[in-house]
Chain A
């Protein structure tokens, strides 16, 4: 029988500093009403000075391992996949230091770069490690510190993004048991790569001297909101439909759809396009903003804690992000207790 990847642990971490809309309104031309009406976001958390992405990832990873060990999961993990847009360094990857600090020894560890779709791509990588027999268990972490790449003067991105981390443990199991990931639908469209971008600091526009560029360096995260909005709605709803179909489910049979927490109006538009009640889409972004690759595990834990997502629920996960990238998968929610 095929080795399925079974979700058996869930852990999250948010930094302690909460920043409300009124806090932003004190330094930017914005207001609580402006931010809420356009995004649904009320506050976000920011990493403390000196707190890096790996620091958040270790906290969430430790909790996910604890959650797994208290349930049907293994003690530890054979591999670490870290999805992030904001690694500690541009070289090397952040996952190895996370694995070491978690005491996992010399396990394989690597980063996945798919921006806000990173967690779905990370799940696919983890499921692949299990299917190929490379690992019997994988820690998949989404961790972000967008506060370090946002333009202090950009009221739209600063209102939207927050820092945070979430992680799951996948273990080898049977395709028909609760928690087994269904087929992962993934996609990309590089023709839209400039719609979500940090223009400078990579090989296209390096920072270092000797590389003359006509345009001034722009080290900040940039997003073309309107085009991203439309693409996000169309890609997430279509990917969800496809993932459901490939798992033999119809969209209307899905009890809970945990979509990347980008914007409340995007969640509503996805629900409308799928002709599903908006209530089936848990909302977490009102309290944490858009945490990019961390948003799905954070939203999962919040939905479980709130009693909205319960064992046995037919569940879909979907995300859209820079690249452009998108993805979706399905699972029957397992009896996992988030830590």
Chain B
């Protein structure tokens, strides 16, 4: 995967105690056992890391990491 993916994985490692090898692009957040509050926390962390604005539903429990990366990359970066 690409740089965006690597940065998302770093957020998962830093904020949720994953090891880099624990996750793969095809994993859904639900499979990673991130509950609804954790998805909100990840949304806030992604916004801060990438300077983008996400809606409440952009990172869903059934999204794979690969899909989440595409959503993040589709967002305009705030000035």
Contacts and interface: CB of A to CB of B under 8 A. Distances in A.
A38 B37 CA distance: 8
A229 interface: yes
A225 B56 contact: no
B35 A230 contact: no
A265 B41 contact: yes
A interface bracket (residues with beta carbon within 8 Å of B): 10 to 19
A100 interface: no
B13 interface: no
B24 to A, nearest CB: 25
B32 interface: no
A326 to B, nearest CB: 16
Interface residues of B, number: 11
A162 B62 CA distance: 34
B70 to A, nearest CB: 22
A324 to B, nearest CB: 14
B36 interface: yes
Interface of B is mostly: helix
Interface in A199-241: 225-227, 229-230, 233-234
A273 B40 CA distance: 13
Interface in A263-281: 265, 269, 272-273
Q: Which of B37, B39, B48 has the most CB of A within 10 A?
A: B37
B45 interface: yes
Contacts of A229: 37, 40
A226 B44 contact: no
Contacts of A233: 40, 44
B43 interface: yes
B42 to A, nearest CB: 10
Given A226-B56, A230-B56, A269 B41 contact: yes
Contact of B56 (A38, A227, A265, A273): A227
Contacts of A226: 36-37, 39-40, 56
A226 B42 CA distance: 12
A230 B41 CA distance: 8
A227 B39 CA distance: 11
B35 A38 contact: yes
A230 B36 contact: no
B36 A225 contact: yes
B40 to A, nearest CB: 5
Contacts of B48: 272-273
B45 A272 contact: yes
Interface string A265-299: 10001001100000000000000000000000000
B37 A273 contact: no
A41 to B, nearest CB: 14
Contacts of B35: 38
B40 A230 contact: yes
Contacts of A38: 35, 37
B63 to A, nearest CB: 15
Interface string B5-22: 000000000000000000
Contact of B44 (A225, A227, A230): A230
Contacts of B36: 225-226
A230 B58 CA distance: 13
Nearest to B39: A226
Interface of A: 38, 225-227, 229-230, 233-234, 265, 269, 272-273
The 3 closest A-B pairs by CB, nearest first: A230-B40, A229-B40, A226-B36
25 contacts: A38-B35, A38-B37, A225-B36, A225-B37, A226-B37, A226-B39, A226-B40, A226-B56, A227-B56, A229-B37, A229-B40, A230-B40, A230-B43, A230-B44, A230-B56, A233-B40, A233-B44, A234-B44, A265-B37, A269-B41, A269-B44, A272-B44, A272-B48, A273-B44, A273-B48
